[in-house]
Structure 1
Amino acid sequence: MTSLPTHTPYDGSSKLFTIGLKPLALADWIEVDEHLLPFLAEKQRLYAEMPGTVFVEEDGTRDAQREVLDLLEAHLPRAFPETHRRASGGVEVIGAAGNPEGDFAKAPLVAASLLVQEDLILMRRGEDGWRLAAGSLCFPSSWSLLEKFGKPLQQIHAPVPGFGPGTRPAELINRMFDGLQGQAVERYNWSIQSGDALYHPLSNVERNERAASRPSRFADGDANAHAFIRVERQTLRKLPVSGDILFTIRIHLDPLAALAHHPDRATLAPAFAAQLEALDIAQLDYKGLTSDRDRLVGVLNQMANAA
Structure 2
Amino acid sequence: MTTPAPAYTPYDGSVQPFTIGLQQLDLKNWIEIDGNLLAYLAEKQRLFALYGDRILVEEPGTHDAQKEVLELLSTHLVEQYPTLYSRDGENITITGLDKSVSLGDTDTSCLHRAASLVQEDLVLMRKDGERGWHLAAASLSFPSSWTLLEKFGRSMDDIHAPVPDFGAGTRNAGLISRMFDNLRPDRSVQRMNWSLQPDGNLYHPLASHQKGARYTDDDIAAQSYVRVERQTLRKLPVSGDVLFTIRIYLDPINALKKHPECRAVVEAFARQLEALNPAQLHYKGIMTIRDRLIDALKRL
TM-score (norm 1): 0.92
* CA offset digits 1:180-219 (Å, max 9, x no partner): 01211000000111111000003xxx44xx28xx954421
Match status 1:184 vs 2:180: no
Tell me which amino acid in the other structure corresponds to 2:190: E
Aligned pairs for 1:251-266 (under 5 A) are: 251-266=248-263
Q: Distance in 2 between the 1:275 and 1:22 partners?
A: 20
Number of the residue aligned with 1:109 = 111
Change (3 A) 1:122 1:147: same
Number of the residue aligned with 2:23 = 22
Tell me which amino acid in the other structure corresponds to 2:150: E
Q: Provide structure 1 residue ranges, at least 5 long, that are not aligned to the other structure.
A: none
Equivalent pairs: percent with the same residue? 54
Partner secondary structure for residue 135 of structure 1: strand
Selected match of 1:123 from 100, 122, 125: 125
User: RMSD of the TM alignment (CA)?
Assistant: 1.8
Q: Distance in 1 between the 2:214 and 2:293 partners?
A: 11
Tell me which amino acid in the other structure corresponds to 1:177: F
Number of the residue aligned with 1:285 = 282
Tell me which amino acid in the other structure corresponds to 1:83: L
Partner secondary structure for residue 192 of structure 1: strand
Would you say the 8 A contact 2:5–2:257 is kept in 1? no
Give the C-alpha shift of residue 81 in structure 1.
1.6
Give the C-alpha shift of residue 85 in structure 1.
1.3
Aligned pairs for 1:63-142 (under 5 A) are: 63-96=64-97, 98=99, 106-127=108-129, 128-142=131-145
Would you say the 8 A contact 2:230–2:247 is kept in 1? yes
Give the C-alpha shift of residue 89 in structure 1.
3.1
Number of aligned pairs?
294
Q: Distance in 1 between the 2:170 and 2:118 partners?
A: 34
Would you say the 8 A contact 1:73–1:90 is kept in 2? no
Number of the residue aligned with 1:196 = 200
Selected match of 1:270 from 267, 272, 294: 267
Q: Distance in 1 between the 2:9 and 2:287 partners?
A: 22
Q: Which moved more, 1:13-22 or 1:236-245?
A: 13-22
Q: Provide structure 2 residue ranges, at least 5 long, that are not aligned to the other structure.
A: none
Q: Distance in 2 between the 1:243 and 1:48 partners?
A: 32
Change (3 A) 1:16 1:58: same
Partner secondary structure for residue 9 of structure 1: coil
Match status 1:300 vs 2:294: no
Would you say the 8 A contact 2:158–2:167 is kept in 1? yes
Partner secondary structure for residue 122 of structure 1: strand
Give the C-alpha shift of residue 223 in structure 1.
1.3
Give the C-alpha shift of residue 220 in structure 1.
3.1
Partner secondary structure for residue 282 of structure 2: helix
TM-score (norm 2): 0.94
Aligned pairs for 1:138-287 (under 5 A) are: 138-182=141-185, 183-202=187-206, 206-207=207-208, 210=209, 215-287=212-284
Q: Distance in 2 between the 1:140 and 1:255 partners?
A: 18
Would you say the 8 A contact 1:99–1:114 is kept in 2? no
Q: Distance in 2 between the 1:51 and 1:99 partners?
A: 20
Would you say the 8 A contact 1:216–1:292 is kept in 2? no
